[in-house]
Each structure stands twice: as structure tokens, then as C-alpha cells.
Amino acid sequence: MPFYDPETMEQRLAGASYSTSEGVWVDGERVIFGIINKPAGTGSRPHRHPNEQFILVQQGSLQAMIDGERKTVGKGGIIHIPANSLHSMVATDDEDVIFIVAKDTAWQIEGVAEDDSSYGAYIGEGADASVAARFRGIAEKGSE
């Protein structure tokens, strides 16, 4: 199918074992392309994946860490994550982040948490209580 309407696509979690990323994406032959949301004050724990990734921030700001280098990237900013790089992305406390993601299909949309001794996303102190409760519930179910 060559045409997609994000408004009618099913929202899915991307990396529920380590991230609050949720959105819609299409798995193409060579590229995974999607629109992802991270609630304010939440994000991913450090993780890796063997596929290269690009992020284009559409709303809000991401606190990005890639192989130890940190930067806050706002609307219009592009983030390049080389294959196998240790990275995390956290939405700042002031608003939800929406970003466009493109990954090659060498691997799936999800990565592997660097610290696999725990299950669950990064939930900061500034996160909305209902959002925090939802993702803590997902973590509890996943760790069973």
C-alpha cells in the first residue's frame, strides 16, 4: 500500500521495555518511517540497535545522549544516531515531544536496553502523574 493516513493508523508502543515512545510507523522494504510521541518528562533509558536512525523534532525538545555526547534538540532539529550507538532520548518537562523517525530495516523499530536488569521507561519527576502511572503499569506487566 503506497498511501497512509497517520490519523487512522493504530498507535503502538516502540520499545516498551525501556521507552515511552508511542506512535505510528510503516515498515518498508528498506526503511522504517514513523511519527512518534514522548510525553513530557519521560523517555528512553540508554539502549542500542544495529540500525542507523534519524529523528526530526516536530514539537517540543528532546534531551539527547549519543555515545556520551549530550544536547537538547528543539523543533526543526535533526538527530543522527549511528548504528550500535548507545543513546537515550528524553522529552523535556515543558511539553510532549513529537518527532519523525526513519530507521533502516537491518533491525526492528525497538532496540535493546543497555541495562537489561530492569524493565521500564525513563520517568522523570516532571512527568504527568497519569502518564507515569500508565508507563509504570506497563513496566510491571512486562517484568512479570
Task: Confirm whether 1 is domain-assigned.
Answer: no
Count of domains for the chain: 1
**Rounded mean pLDDT, 41-60:** 96
Residue 24 structural domain:
6-142
Q: Which residues of 77-112 are buried (b: 16+ CB within 10 A; e: fewer)?
A: eebebeeebebbbbbbeeebbbbbbebeeebebbbe
pLDDT tens-digit series, residues 78-137: 999 999 999 999 999 999 999 999 999 887 777 888 887 677 899 999 999 999 999 888
**Rounded mean pLDDT, 14-32:** 94
- Output the domain CATH number for residue 46: 2.60.120.10
Task: Confirm whether 50 is domain-assigned.
Answer: yes
> What's the pLDDT score for residue 138?
83
Task: Confirm whether 84 is domain-assigned.
Answer: yes
Task: Confirm whether 92 is domain-assigned.
Answer: yes
